[in-house]
Chain A
């Protein structure tokens, strides 16, 4: 006994000791010890992350203020450290906010906003501040000037890691030549080993934000990325949560916070895409789970045993024969009109018919009367005899159960087994006046499944038959389908607040209801046009394609996938294609292998799109750049560092569709190139052969060289443009003819540059004079197989220069005599 007690004491002592040592750790301390989680694990990486945080903020802020972003990034060597400066032309930050934003971790407006924002991707600029103070010891220097103010605010600050509060070392105003914006200067340990990643980050940011002007100046290089459009991306709206995307914990909080009193109101106000009807559907689902459904039985036919009319009239007393009869008949008629009827429906019929009879016959049918009527009718429908204790299910119930079970189970089960099963199952449904729910036949789906299980088990034992899981499921579903949702009002919001179970049922109901996808006004996709523009300005390629999918939804969060392809030109042809990944307009620079975007690209059969792909899978080879952008209110990432998109089927499917759309265009382009090449080859060979043939033929026939231009044009399926000059009394009539030998209609832009003023020019052409030369411009529409002629006159010997555009090179033959 003694030893036991002393052991106890020891344990207590241990716990107390341990308790003493426990204390809360501040966020900042946590960061200090877990830098890698936030992208600050190595010096090289740290630099990239710091730039990323600052640039993201700058982009978000300037966009929100409605300006076209102009961002300057400078990295300078400063002794053992690197000085990073990021300057933007944003709206600036107010004096009170500056210390918090830069000097306090996890402070920001972005985290909870349900709209697409870059800022979601990072822990914030304060992390960069913390890192730099930890490594260099120097404070961060922030200059910011808000629009309309005369001076700029200047702060030098560090973060107090114990309290996670800013510690201001210096504060004041200063003059600044920028009218508005923010400048941050931090000194940190780092190294430029991540130079390539840094360049990639800036360049890719430029690609995916064609409205921004970016500049990067680092010790070895200086890049400027000009903007390709003056259009700001559409503003995003914050949207309310979608019922499919909220967790139980959140819903409880929302219930507490809401002003609505009813569940219906709560659903409609606090969620997106929920109107009155949807709210009702959700509540129905809730009812099924919370209250259960009521079993509906086939009512007996008139004049059978258990005639509803008779039962009802017996239950009603002192209302006079007429009224009673009318009432009873009316109720019976309502019941007759139903294939199946449940208790709750009966109650409704009685109420409605009672009110009608009251009006007609002037007799009051009070609550008690109505209740009795309902009970009586219900007894009639279920075949329940109130005088018999412990009864077996009525014939009617068994017949009903049999019908349902038979239908639901496979034909291989023999009738007897099913009948026995139905009997047992029916027994569970026998009304019990002592239990309200059982009386009304009100059960949850689980309970019904329970009945089925028990009946099935018994049947398996007694009848030696098998009742497998599928059969049980089917029977349960068959019953559930005919069971009717009750019409009870759901509890009030205030009741739900404390009731975890009921709220959980509500959340389940929300998930089970079909609700339209959330609106996409919270998203700001780049758009196919600008995806292409972005690629165009950074890559000198010969072909560009882009696509932007319609928004889709995953776990209640809307998302959009977009893709772009650039091919050929200056893009390096050797080696793998360049893959640019973006999430919410932020380039993903690390963890390429683990990213869902990469996996999706690898899984596509690129050979089908005329690219080289050894083994039929993996990143294709060639002079290709593929860019993929996923925009969402909540992009799923594989880890906290948010470098790679997590593998989510819905998102991967959309990415694949977007990429394939762009790839299809690439395929047509490449095919066309191929056929152009073939054509060119044919052209080259024929250009060799035909003149020789013509020459030989001239030799043999002893004639001069024949004219082969026309024949060549025909052979090449070309468009032939030639000029003919006819002289007549010192006047020269010039006719320019376009012959279309190809199989398509063409509209070439023909320009004849004459050094003598042309007169009597056909109406179809325009003449522009410049520096003593006349430009006769003409754009005829020439159908396949047809020709068109333009004529004009000149006075004297003139020299001409014919040029044609809008027809691809190999298809054009120009005879300029």
Chain B
């Protein structure tokens, strides 16, 4: 627990330092401002050393020189006060609670207009203070994903430590990753690889067919765009347990992004890529080439799908031979397919044929 207090006071200190920076700016007669890296696609660069995508050199400035900037800074300062207080009391809250809380702040100008705004601000503070929001004791809404597989772990909860085996000690749903996966300690595992699955349906199919048992893998249900906790755990499993990671998602541009956030890091939290990304995670499918080869039932690409694909061609993280080839192919055929479409070949096709073949090709099996 002293660890926690340490992190608490460290985080607190960093917050106070931020406030002090503004204070000093006032005293010096300077216009208070906050600088951070620009958080857009155009400012993502590949860090050769860490093998992940991080923010580049471009900066955005929030300055009290304009009404807009001043408002942002005011909100930031109010939030800093709140977080510091929270840490002092060793309490936590959700991002959504922060948004509502702001409605009660005395100064109207300090109140957030929407949760997006408060979410972004907390991320800004993460970056500027170099403290993870988990260390601010801020939780997101989304819960972490569910894990099923031969893995024994110990979790530090508020109500005491728990030892859990992710096949034997859990129900059909599997083990729920906590908000702060760093509270987990890996004790033992019998796994050969980790497979992160996008849809609940496919995850259930794998579990029902005993895929995790047969192939000794840890099935992680992403549930769409994976939460930080999920990505963090996947990364830890890769690094600490030395397990290869593959991602199995639908065959459409949004799913590729899901893969991207697991492997490359997200644009929004590129400052935490090192902490969250699993650079050598591989993409199993559905690939556009699968649509062709297995003649899967498809849907046509909508306009927004096409735009997203084209946007991905511009995304530095997808500028590899593999992705370029696949995306061009998809634009050509103009179709997309869900992973569950494999059922057209039979319910067991995915676990009997598709995955084993593909994973062998990839050198995972």
Interface of A toward B, CB cutoff 8 Å: 682, 685-686, 688-690, 692-694, 696-701, 703, 706-711, 713-715
Contact = CB atoms under 8 A, between A and B. Distances in A.
Interface of B: 15-16, 19-20, 22-23, 25-32, 64-67, 70-71, 73-74, 77-78, 80-81, 84, 107, 109-110
Listed from nearest, the 6 A-B pairs whose CB atoms lie closest are: A710-B29, A700-B19, A706-B26, A696-B77, A689-B70, A697-B23
A690 B70 contact: yes
Contact of B74 (A682, A692, A715): A692
B286 to A, nearest CB: 51
Contacts of A699: 81
A701 B64 contact: no
A701 B26 contact: no
Contact of B26 (A700, A707, A713): A707
A689 B71 CA distance: 7
A693 B29 contact: no
A694 to B, nearest CB: 6
A698 B22 CA distance: 10
Contacts of A688: 107, 109
Given A690-B64, A693-B77, A697-B19, A707 B107 contact: no
A703 B26 contact: no
A690 B70 CA distance: 7
B64 A697 contact: no
Contacts of A700: 15-16, 19, 77, 80-81, 84
- Secondary structure class of chain B's binding surface, majority of residues: helix
B67 A693 contact: no
Contacts of A690: 32, 64, 70
Contact of B65 (A693, A698, A703, A715): A715
Contacts of A692: 74, 107, 109-110
A156 to B, nearest CB: 77
A682 to B, nearest CB: 6
A710 B30 CA distance: 7
Contact of A685 (B16, B65, B67): B67
A690 B16 CA distance: 18
B9 to A, nearest CB: 15
Given A692-B74, A699-B81, A711 B32 contact: yes
Contacts of B31: 711, 714-715
Contacts of B26: 694, 697, 706-708, 711
Contacts of B109: 685, 688-689, 692
A63 B121 CA distance: 77
A693 B73 contact: yes
27 contacts: A685-B70, A688-B107, A689-B74, A690-B32, A692-B107, A693-B22, A693-B74, A694-B26, A696-B74, A697-B20, A700-B19, A700-B77, A700-B81, A700-B84, A701-B19, A703-B23, A706-B23, A706-B26, A707-B27, A707-B29, A711-B25, A711-B29, A711-B31, A711-B32, A714-B29, A714-B31, A715-B64
Contacts of B30: 711, 714
A676 to B, nearest CB: 16
A698 B70 contact: no
B29 A697 contact: no
A708 B26 CA distance: 5
Given A690-B32, A706-B26, A707-B26, 14 more contacts: A682-B67, A692-B74, A693-B32, A693-B77, A694-B23, A694-B26, A696-B74, A700-B15, A701-B20, A701-B23, A711-B30, A711-B64, A713-B29, A715-B64
A706 B20 CA distance: 10
A696 B78 contact: yes
A686 B29 contact: no
Nearest to B15: A700
B107 to A, nearest CB: 5
A717 to B, nearest CB: 9
Nearest to B25: A711
Nearest to B109: A689
Nearest to B76: A693
A143 B250 CA distance: 111
A121 to B, nearest CB: 58
Nearest to B63: A715
Contacts, number: 83
Contact of B70 (A693, A710, A714): A693
Nearest to A692: B107
Contacts of A698: 23
Contacts of A714: 29-31
B27 A706 contact: yes
A713 B29 CA distance: 9
A713 B64 CA distance: 12
Contacts of B80: 700
Contacts of A697: 19-20, 22-23, 26, 77
Contacts of A708: 26
Contacts of B81: 696, 699-700
Q: Which of A686, A690, A696, A697 has the most CB of B within 10 A?
A: A697
A703 B24 CA distance: 11
B23 to A, nearest CB: 5
A701 B12 CA distance: 11
Contacts of A715: 31, 64-65
A693 B18 CA distance: 13
A699 B19 CA distance: 9
A711 B25 CA distance: 8
A787 to B, nearest CB: 12
Contacts of A713: 29
Contacts of B71: 689
Contacts of A706: 23, 26-27
A154 B95 CA distance: 100
A686 B23 CA distance: 16
A715 B25 CA distance: 13
A340 B307 CA distance: 80
B16 to A, nearest CB: 6
A156 B67 CA distance: 78
Contacts of A689: 64, 67, 70-71, 74, 107, 109
A688 B108 CA distance: 10
A694 B64 CA distance: 11
A701 B32 CA distance: 15
A703 B23 CA distance: 9
A149 B93 CA distance: 104
A683 to B, nearest CB: 10
A690 B69 CA distance: 11
A697 B27 CA distance: 12
A707 to B, nearest CB: 6
Contacts of B64: 686, 689-690, 693, 711, 715
A478 to B, nearest CB: 69
Contacts of B70: 685-686, 689-690, 693
Nearest to B110: A692
Nearest to B81: A700
A685 B15 CA distance: 26
B132 to A, nearest CB: 20
A497 B109 CA distance: 92
Contacts of A711: 25-26, 29-32, 64
Contacts of B84: 700
Nearest to A707: B27
Contacts of B67: 682, 685-686, 689
Contacts of A703: 20, 23
Nearest to B77: A696
A715 B64 CA distance: 7
B60 to A, nearest CB: 19
A715 B32 CA distance: 9
A570 B132 CA distance: 61
Nearest to B108: A688
Contacts of A710: 28-29
